[in-house]
Amino acid sequence: MRLPRWAPWIEDVLNGSPSVTGVQTFAAAGIKDKPCGHVITLRTGATVALQWVRTAATGGEDQSQPEEPVTGKPSAPVELPDLPASGRIQLSLIEAHVAALIANGGSDEVSSVERTSQRPDSKKCGVNVRMHSGANVYGVFLYTAPAGASFNSGGEYQQREEV
């Protein structure tokens, strides 16, 4: 699934969470220097900006040609971790919530979803979505901000432990 189809699909998936009170594209949120992503507002008032980056399947693909979706069995459903309605939230719990939303999203193009923080060598949170086509969509936390704070106070890719 290329990013032009991914973006509206993932926006619908994110909006389906009871813990999410708002989802905006980067463009709508005023983030102009990154081509694809969403600013997610949680019911606590915390916000995270999740940048989406896609890699093609091994061997590449001709982006000038129409996309030919590759489908298969959707990823296995997983338990959706609840996010608190107040207070601070561990970024790893938000990561788990987003990963579960994607895994449970029912797309027959999504093969599997991995939490980046669960890799033995990783110190960052994010999601890696493997497509049946062999392509990957990576979700990288660009900005994180607790309720009442702005993204400017942390800097790009500087992940807070909690928001």
Looking at residue 127, what is its pLDDT?
Answer: 98
Looking at residue 156, what is its pLDDT?
Answer: 82
Tell me the one-letter amino acid at 87.
G
Rounded to two decimals, what is the model's pTM? Answer: 0.94
Looking at residue 154, what is its pLDDT?
Answer: 61
Query: Hunting for tokens 């093969």 — which residue is that?
Result: 111
Domain membership of residue 158 (yes or no) is no
Question: Strand, helix or coil at 20?
Answer: strand
Strands 47-55 and 37-42: antiparallel
Looking at residue 19, what is its pLDDT?
Answer: 97
Q: What is the largest CA-CA distance in the chain?
A: 47
Looking at residue 59, what is its pLDDT?
Answer: 85
Number of domains in the chain: 1
Looking at residue 153, what is its pLDDT?
Answer: 60
Contacts of 22 (CB under 8 A, 6+ apart): 39, 40, 41
Alpha carbon distance 131, 118 (integer Å): 19
Domain membership of residue 160 (yes or no) is no
Domain that holds residue 114: 3-61+70-153
Domain membership of residue 162 (yes or no) is no
| Residues in the chain where the model's pLDDT stays below 50 | none
